[in-house]
Amino acid sequence: MFNKIGLILQLSIFLWLNTGNSQNSNEYLSWFDQKVSPENTALYNGYLDDGEGDFERTRSFKNTQRYFKSYDFLNGSITYEGQTYTNQQIKYDLYQDELLLNLTSSRGSMVKVKPIKHRIDGFNLAGHKFISLSNFNDSKYEGFAEKKFTGSNFIFFTKYKKTRSERVVEKKVMFEYYESNYNLLYFKGNLHLIKRKKDLIKLFPEFKKEMKDYAIHNATAATDILNYLTRLNSLLSKKQ
Instruction: Using DSSP, state whether 44 is helix, strand or coil.
Output: helix
pLDDT at position 14: 42
Residues of the chain with pLDDT under 70: 1-41, 44, 46-58, 106-109, 216-223, 240
Contact 91, 25 (CB under 8 A): no
From the number of C-beta atoms within 10 Å of its C-beta (0-12, 13-18, 19+), residue 60 rates as middle
pLDDT at position 200: 86
In the chain, alpha helices (H) = 2-17, 22-35, 52-56, 197-203, 208-217, 225-239
pTM of the shown model: 0.77
Contact 194, 185 (CB under 8 A): yes
pLDDT at position 22: 53
Rg (the chain; Cα; Å): 21
pLDDT at position 10: 44
